Amino acid sequence: MKRAKNLKGYSVFDRLLVVFFTLFALLMIYPVYYVFVGSFNRGLDYISGGVYLFPREFTFDNYRVVFADGGLWRAYFITVSRTILGTFTAITFTSIVAYAMSRKELPFKKIIYFINIFTMFFSGGLIPFFLLIKTLGLYDTYALYIVPCAYSVYHMIIISNFFRSLPEELREAAVLDGAGEFRILFSVAIPLSVPVIATVSLWIAIGHWNSYFDAMVYTSSEGLVTLQFYLMKLINSQNVNVGAITLPASVTENLTAEVVTFATIVVSILPVMFIFPFISKYFEKGIMMGSIKG
């Protein structure tokens, strides 16, 4: 106890914290590491258990199967395209509304604000929304992934709070130059709000990347299956989808659904893993900005 205290002013409590948080960090990382290891292991060998730290019988076969899976790539394409298009649409639309809501001189501001806030506390529920989607003709269309996600009150409030904190003089200068409100938004307000715009965009993008509920409920055709929905069906079916390619018998005999699913999972999270280290600090910043209003 005493000796511990002498060590560079680190108390026992400090050291316990370090040990605890090291274990904690490992726990956060391990599930992904686990699936990574499994994805490089031969299927038949994996069944006997014990593949936890390194692949025991190393192979690329699982990935050969995954790369030849046409359904997966189609789902990948749907998800990548909806993420890009959906994020762009939503951030543009939401910023426009947020800008108007950040201005004091907006007429009927109180009523408009109430119309927005009320939707956060009360909704018609799943079924009326489902029936609306059908009535609007959005059911089983690609637009379904973009249009209903184009606006979020919560994001609007966060962006709007940031716009409000921008110096008024910049706007006045733009007005003197004869700029209209749209000009001011796109050439003054948005360029000065890159951190919050980037953060909210990333939130929206992650939402698009990870969603499967909309695909499951509001679509029925194969061509609209998203990446996560595809994964879900794969995990539930427990079948190996060898599909288009012909593999030598020595390979197919060794394949199992589980390790192929692992490889598919790895392929599906690679983009998130690569981008994550660069974007995590933005996420944090964004939450802090959103919390200013308290």
Partner 1 sequence: MEKAKKTTKKYSKSQWALLFMAGLGVVFLLVFNYAPMFGISLAFQSGDYVIDVRDAILNSEFVGFDNFKKFLTDPEFIDVVVNTLGLNVLSLVLTFPAPIIFALCINEVKNKRFKKVVQTVSYFPYFLSWIVFGGIVLSMLDSQTGIVNEIIVKLKLAAGPVNFGLSEYFWGLIIVTGLIKGVGWNSVIYLAAIAGIDASMYEAAEIDGANRWNKMWFITLPSILPTITVYLILAISGLLNSGFDQIWVFRNQMNLDRSEVIDTYVYKHGILKNQYSYTTAIGLLKSVIALILLTVSNAVSKKIAGRGIY
Our finding on whether 288 is near partner 1 (CB under 8 A) is yes
Indicate which single residue of 64, 148, 186, 192 sits in contact with partner 1 (rule: CB under 8 A).
148
Residue 167 engages partner 1 in binding (rule: CB under 8 A): no
Separation of alpha carbons 179 and 175, rounded Å: 5
Could you count the other beta carbons within 10 Å of the beta carbon of residue 239?
11
Question: How far is Cα of residue 32 from the mean position of the Cα atoms in its chain?
Answer: 16
Q: Under rule CB under 8 A, which residues in 42-61 are in contact with partner 1? A: 46-52
Residue 211, Ramachandran bin (φ over 0: left; ψ between -120 and 50: alpha; else beta) = beta
Site for partner 1 in 177-216 (CB under 8 A): 180-182, 185, 206, 209-213
4 in contact with partner 1 (CB under 8 A): no
21 lies in the site for partner 1, by CB under 8 A = yes
235-264 positions binding partner 1, by CB under 8 A:
235, 258, 261-262
What is the smallest separation between the CB atom of 212 and partner 1, expressed in angstroms?
A: 6
Q: For residue 206, what are its two tokens? A: 């992650």
Tokens of 248: 């030598």
Tell me the C-alpha distance between 3 and 270, whole Å.
46
- Chain length of the chain: 294
Which residue stretch of 33-41, 56-64, 66-74, 80-88 sits at the interface with partner 1 (rule: CB under 8 A)? 33-41
Please tell me whether residue 283 binds partner 1 under the rule CB under 8 A: yes
Alpha-carbon dihedral angle through residues 72, 77, 82, 88, given to the nearest 10 degrees: 140
Q: Which is nearer to partner 1, 246 or 284 (CB)?
A: 284
Q: Name residues contacting partner 1, limited to 109-138 (CB under 8 A).
A: 109, 112, 115-117, 119, 121-132, 134-136
Of 23 and 194, CB closest to partner 1: 23
- What CA–CA distance (Å, rounded) separates 85 from 21? 39
